[in-house]
């Protein structure tokens, strides 16, 4: 346990000092701000159609900008761009350890492979939680500022709804981050892992879902994919597709939750098993 905790602290120190991680976090916050608030607020002030809410009234647009809508905002963007960024983080954390020779050094001079890889996985989990927390803080501050600017009553969301949305969002990001970590381990490098992860999450799954709408055999396969599970879990929180790319209702919320949790466990366990047996030469 001591070796595991030391490995976790060392990995967190590396992540804090790694500029690429801060760039990814900043990109995620910028996307959340843009798609969650900026575009909607511009549409509300100008009276133009919103990119996602075509035909929505000004009152509806304003309601989506209020603090009471925070649970929907913090999770709506995660199935698409949030998951892709989390996958990049996981792929970089695992893959760069091969390119820099970090894994070889740690396994030769440091703790056991299980403790070292477990600490790295734990650090990724802490980072995912920090990303979700930063998103929550950002959405709270922006929505309260908009409510005050527009002279609206500041009504915070129900705590249970906020907790459910935060927890679901954390699981979605954790799933993609650990899948990226696993791909980084299998690819033994960051470049291929990041490329494969982005192509899969942003292109392949969308194509398969499009084909699945025409072929029932393919649809049964797409229902078990991570993107479908994450999008359906987000859809269960927000009440179905809301016009945001990636938010789905392909499977039930309960099934989506179990599928996402299964991917988290399988990806983390598989990464441990592969690294324990891997030849790093």
What is the Cα–Cα distance from 204 to 32, expressed in whole angstroms? 23
pLDDT in tens, 133-172: 999 999 999 999 999 999 999 999 999 999 999 999 999 9
On whether the CB atoms of residues 72 and 138 are closer than 8 A, the answer is no
pLDDT in tens, 203-223: 788 777 777 666 667 778 888
What is the Cα–Cα distance from 168 to 183, expressed in whole angstroms? 23
What is the Cα–Cα distance from 259 to 145, expressed in whole angstroms? 37
For 36, 59, 65, 165, the CA distances from 113, given in Å and listed in that order, are 41, 56, 47, 35
Which pair of structure tokens corresponds to residue 81?
Answer: 């761009």
On whether the CB atoms of residues 202 and 84 are closer than 8 A, the answer is yes
For 33, 73, 131, 154, the CA distances from 26, given in Å and listed in that order, are 10, 17, 10, 27
The pLDDT tens digits along the chain (281 residues) read 788 999 999 999 999 999 999 999 999 999 999 998 998 898 888 876 555 555 678 888 899 999 999 999 999 888 888 989 999 999 999 988 888 888 888 888 877 888 989 999 999 999 999 999 999 999 999 999 999 999 999 999 999 999 999 999 999 999 999 999 999 999 888 888 888 878 887 778 877 777 766 666 777 888 889 989 999 999 999 887 776 777 888 889 999 999 999 999 999 999 999 988 877 65
Where does residue 33 rank: exposed (0-12), middle (13-18), buried (19+ CB within 10 A)?
middle
Q: Which residue in 195, 198, 209 sits closest to 246, CA to CA? A: 209
DSSP SS3 for 200: helix
pLDDT in tens, 112-140: 888 989 999 999 999 999 999 999 999 99
Q: Where are the domains of the chain?
A: 2-277
Q: Model pTM? A: 0.91
Residue that the structure tokens 């599970």 belong to? 229
Residue 81: DSSP 8-state? I
């Amino acid at each position: 346990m001591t070796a595991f905790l030391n490995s976790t602290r060392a990995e967190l120190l590396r992540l804090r000092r790694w500029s690429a991680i801060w760039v990814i976090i900043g990109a995620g916050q910028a996307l959340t701000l843009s798609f969650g608030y900026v575009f909607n607020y511009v549409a509300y002030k100008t009276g133009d159609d919103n990119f996602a809410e075509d035909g929505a009234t000004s009152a509806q647009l304003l309601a989506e900008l209020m603090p009471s809508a925070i649970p929907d905002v913090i999770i709506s963007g995660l199935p698409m761009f949030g998951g892709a960024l989390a996958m990049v983080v996981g792929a970089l954390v695992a893959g760069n350890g091969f390119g820099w020779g970090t894994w070889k050094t740690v396994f030769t001079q440091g703790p056991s492979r299980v403790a070292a890889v477990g600490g790295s996985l734990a650090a990724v989990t802490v980072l995912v939680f920090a990303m979700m927390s930063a998103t929550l803080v950002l959405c709270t501050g922006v929505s309260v500022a908009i409510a005050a600017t527009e002279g609206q009553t500041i009504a915070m969301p129900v705590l249970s709804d906020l907790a459910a949305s935060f927890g679901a969002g954390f699981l979605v990001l954790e799933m993609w981050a650990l899948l990226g970590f696993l791909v980084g381990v299998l690819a033994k490098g960051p470049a291929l892992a990041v490329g494969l992860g982005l192509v899969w999450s942003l292109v392949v799954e969308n194509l398969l879902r499009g084909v699945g709408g025409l072929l029932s055999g393919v649809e049964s396969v797409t229902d078990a994919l991570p993107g479908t599970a994450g999008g359906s879990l987000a859809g269960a929180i927000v009440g179905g597709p809301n016009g945001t790319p990636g938010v789905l209702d392909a499977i039930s919320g309960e099934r989506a939750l179990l599928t996402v949790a299964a991917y988290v466990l399988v990806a983390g366990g598989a990464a441990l098993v592969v690294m324990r047996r891997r030849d790093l030469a």
